[in-house]
Structure 1
Amino acid sequence: MAVAGFLGSIFVVSASYDRESKREDKVMAREVLTHTLKWSDVEISFSKDDCVENFSEPGRFPIVVNPRIQNYEFSRVFVNGGSAVNLIFPNTLDLMKVPRSAMKLAASYRIYGAIPGPCLPTVGQITLAVSFGTAKNFRTERIMFDVVDIESAYHAILGRPAMVKFMAFECYVGMCMKMPGPKGVITIRGSIQKAMQCEQESLEIQRRAENLRAKGLSTTAQSHNYDVLEKCTKDILSAIRPDEKDRSLRLEALHELKDSISSLGALTGTTVEPFGSFLSNLYAKSGDLDVSLELLDDSNFLSTKQTVLKKVCEALQTRGVAEDVRYIFRARVPIVQYVSNRFGISCDVCVDNYLGRIKSKVLYWVNDFDERFGHMVLLVKEWAKARNINDPKNGTLNSYTLCLLVLYHFQTCTPSILPPMRVIYDVKNTEDSAKHYTERHLDAVCKANIAKFRRQNTGQRNQSSLSHLLATFFEKFTSPSLTSAVISTYEGRLKEIQDLPYRMTSHSLFVEDPFERHENAARTVDRSEIHRIARAFDHANSVFAGDGLANRNELLSLLCTPEVAIQAGAEGMAT
């Protein structure tokens, strides 16, 4: 598969461009149009009313529209008057469930300008119904597309042939185009937001292509056979995913803690609420259990959270239900850590962590939306653990940051798997949200917003395999991209570092917390460790871009700890 970044003027040349072809060109130049084109008698004009208001850079972005193709609505169709052909991509055909057998053999010509450098041969041609307008006034034309196997931020490109067929006229000042319709002129507005997103993705695609060229690899190296990697990911998940017994142990540990708390008269009525990966259903067998003690309003005579946690320490030790009890009061969120003697579960206990519960519950809904997200989070956390970069106490990545990196990856795939977080649950005022937090309200909001996103993206599901998503995850975060911008899952895009609040610019890695946007979720990353983290991403990407995909043992040693690798069936590895 080749890779497309920016698409400008696209032209075609016959594969056998000889003297006979040149003679035909001269004849074509002398030809005169002898018939009237349909719809040519309809007058189309543009006025000041068509201009885009409050847009400081007219002409910067292309017109990106959302026609219906074969009755599927696509939101990223590039209207390119500089293209001599209409282009569509195999991934778009897959979204419409159009079989490859529906394509006919391509004409014998080459396409230039779709990507920098070499020409592109077409892999086939296909004629599809394209519609613009509303139910009251619409046009449908059968448009012939050339199918090219390139990675693009767009679903399709409508060139001059399509514009002539529709008798459509573009206006870049107004970011729109107009065409005749059966009941008057049809105006199609381009989406500036989609154009900006496509530009950002095109930059990312171009950067990845340049990285591959710098390593001496062709972009066709991306079309590896992922069979071995796919089998490895399934075996790793089988080893680390919890079963019903693991869940039951955690629930029993919660009841045990609740019984210990009830023995403290001062904390009567306190509820014990899980949060973190357990509530999000993103936990592994070896994962900790995060717990928040929710106090009654009349418990305020226990003046501080530290006081409450000291009482919890005393209760756990007095009842003899815990070992290795540690009270960490200088942390940003004071906690008590212990291991349940009876159930062997490591627990982290804090007080009144409403926001932590909100974050966890929203991520539960994200996980529920597409199970590949949960699987990817587990795989990435296991990889980070194996590479010793999932330890915030020692200056590396916390699990929440790893989760957000996966989330950003799913938001910026083509087509995107997940929407920006503001679409699912927009926490604009964290204090107010926490104060009025109810699980029922949050569930209702997330469920409704996800259902809306599904309706708006019917027919556009990204069907990438888990192995492909894992490989492109490491490719996306190779240095320097890991540290050169702000990763925003709230908006689903990269932001400029200079836009950060001053107090955040001292950090080494910038991952915006979508629930507390003034906070850097990756603030634990130390400057002395960022280079080691970057090397781990680069190494994983180099294994996937090279011959490592065929070596099962090499993949397992890269992606998981020795203990998990042995459970996954690795040979000749010692724990």
Structure 2
Amino acid sequence: MILWRQDGEISHARRRSSEAGAFLLPDRILAFRECWARRAGTGLGMASSRREVRNLGPFPGFLCCDVSLFPEIRKKAQDVEELANASFSWTAQKEIRFSRAIEEVLGDLEPSQEDRDARAAIVASFDSFVKQTLSGSSVVAPFGSYVTNTFTCDSDLDLSLYVNRMNPLSREEKLYFLKRVTTSLQAMHARYDQIQPIYNATVPVVKFVDRKTGIQCDLSVDNKDGASKSLVLAALSSIDKRFRPLCLLLKKWAKSHEINDASAGTLSSYVITLLAIFHLQTCSPPVLPPLSMIIGGLDLDASYCSGFISARAKAFQGFGARNMDRISELFRTFFVKITAVKALWQEGLCASTYHAQWISKWPSFHNGCICVEDFYDPSRNAAKAVTPKDFECIYQCLENSVDAFRRPITDMESFKKMIVGDGCMPKVTPPPRPEPRFPDPRDIRPSLAVPLLLQGRPHRPASGPPNRRF
């Protein structure tokens, strides 16, 4: 039970300590967080920024809602998923063939040691290049799929430039350093190519390609958000070995179907990874624990949290041992689960990896399409870039894959191409929108509301010479 006090503290809360020595948050503590947000004037349980969420009280990292307040929509999601799984016929022979195809695809996706060495060399060489450019104690560090070990040979390399400053950099300062590095990159045609700065993005980046390896790199400045997220995802990868191959398969599937680009209104790699985590958390039995057990009560921006996250993740190793599903079964049920809840997104459905269950979000948070809560910033929908038009495209790809899973596997190569793309499955094109119909000016009856110049005949004033054509 949580009681509100005027001084912003919790008067009564049951807590238990993990082996790592950190406190775990009880579920009902979220009601206190919501009450505080209403008092602060930030809306219906919503926080305006992550720093505001983090400073709500002695227990940072609260979410935007109490999961116990929305049992109806969670029950709906569970029911439609059970019905979808019950209607899916799956024989033992088909499971064997499907598992064999998945293993062959994973073998092709596994990066070689040469590719790993090439990426490490890019990080080292670019770090030296930046130190010469900025002539200071600047450091370049990787994050993203390279740190979480969920990259393939054609994945981008995410880099972040950290400038030795005591205070966080403003957007103007980040743009200043990014433009300086961009200017130096453009002068190094022998080493870097296809330099494309994107300064007006939410996170300003400059894209470039390493000429020697052909690997595309994305450089940002002081991207501590990406580093903190990568730290948590890398810790999850150490809990169960099935997390990494599932992410590899889903990213490859989305990229081959051209729905892996947030700038185009589809799914980012981060959203796909969060959905993979959510699926592993909501399996029966679960494979991964709720993220509240890993990051609850921690300030992810603080330098000390790295050791706590690693210790907590280590304590949960073997958490999913009771789940005996192969990666092929987890891959198939992922599509069944996400496809089954298509109609519930418009009712406020949201996938929360922090709580490891379906929750509901307020309308100001939800855009009616896919909603995935960002564990780093609970006030943010990680899939907010998905537009209604691309939502239909994404779900057409998902439904086509589910239909392909139902059919017998006659040709192994064609089935593998369906998973990794390569033109086997037809590309999804949204239905054309009807062109807006504007009335023909010649069909409009003369009236004072329509100028005579739009009625198909020249305008002559009541008196005076006729108008000249311009």
| Structures share fold, TM-score greater than 0.5 | yes
Counterpart AA for 1:557? K
Q: 2:202 aligns with which of 324, 329, 332?
A: 332
The alignment-based identity, stated in percent, is 26
CA contact (8 A) 1:396 1:524 kept: yes
CA distance in 1, matches of 2:166, 2:73: 51
Amino acid at match of 2:387: D
Query: 1:387/1:395 Cα in 2 relative to 1: closer, same or farther (>3 Å)?
Result: same
1:305 matched to 2:305? The reply is no
Map of 2:153 onto structure 1: 285
Bigger mean CA offset, 460-469 vs 375-384: 460-469
Q: Which amino acid aligns with 2:83?
A: E
- Corresponding letter in the other structure for 2:345: T
Runs of at least 5 residues in structure 2 that lack an aligned partner in the other structure: 3-65, 426-470
Paired position in structure 1 for 2:129? 260
Q: Is structure 2 residue 109 aligned with structure 1 residue 249?
A: no
State how far apart, in whole Å, the 2-side matches of 1:228 and 1:415 are. Answer: 24
Which protein is richer in strand relative to its size? 1
**Residue 193 of structure 2 corresponds to residue 323 of structure 1:** yes
* CA distance in 2 between partners of 1:537 and 1:345 (Å): 29
Residue in structure 2 matching 1:424, options 290, 294, 297: 294
Superposed displacement of residue 211, structure 1: 3.8
Distance 1:267 1:483 in 2: 50
- Greater length-normalized contact order (CA 8 Å, ≥ 6 residues apart): 2
Report the residue type matching 2:396 in the other structure.
R
Asked if 2 retains the 8 angstrom alpha-carbon contact of 1:271 and 1:295, the reply is: yes
2 CA distance for matches of 1:513 and 1:408?
12
The equivalent of 1:346 in structure 2 is 216
2:141 pairs with one of 247, 257, 273: 273
Aligned position for 1:437: 303
Partners of 1:385 and 1:250 lie apart in 2 by 21
Secondary structure at the residue paired with 1:515?
Answer: coil
Question: Is the 2:161–2:219 Cα contact (8 Å) retained in structure 1?
Answer: yes
Structure 1 residue 339: Cα displacement? 0.1
User: Once superposed, what is the RMSD of the aligned Cα atoms?
Assistant: 3.2
- Structure 1 residues 301, 554: CA separation in 2 closer, same or farther (over 3 Å shift)? closer
Which deviations, in whole Å up to 9, do the C-alpha atoms of 1:200-253 show, x marking residues without a partner? 88755531343467xxx4x65476731111111111111121121111101111
Is the CA contact (8 Å cut-off) linking 2:156 and 2:217 kept in structure 1?
yes
State the TM-score, normalizing by the size of structure 1.
0.57
Match of 1:296 among 160, 164, 173: 164
8 A Cα contact 1:377 1:402, kept in partner:
yes
The residue type paired with residue 553 of structure 1 is: E
Return 5+ residue gaps in structure 1 as ranges: 1-52, 55-192, 566-575
Provide the C-alpha distance between the structure 2 equivalents of 1:302 and 1:375, rounded to a whole number of angstroms.
36
- Change in Cα spacing, 1:276 to 1:212, as seen in structure 2 (3 Å) is closer
Q: Is the 8 A contact 2:77 2:341 kept in 1?
A: no
- The amino acid across from 1:371 in the alignment is K
Counterpart in the other structure of 2:10: none
Is 2:379 the counterpart of 1:513? no
Give the aligned length: 358
Q: What TM-score, normalized to structure 2?
A: 0.69
Match of 1:229 in 2: 98
Corresponding position of 1:483: 345
The partner residue of 1:559 within 403, 408, 419 is 419
Deviation at 1:394, TM superposition (A): 1.1
SS in 1 for 2:266: coil
CA distance, structure 2, for counterparts of residue 302 and residue 486 of structure 1: 30
Residues 201, 520 of structure 1: alpha-carbon distance in 2 compared, 3 angstrom cutoff? closer
Which entry has the higher C-alpha Rg, 1 or 2? 1
Cα–Cα, structure 1 residues 513 and 424, in superposed 2: closer, same or farther, change >3 Å? same
Corresponding letter in the other structure for 2:278: Y
How many Å separate the matches in 2 of 1:301 and 1:514? 23
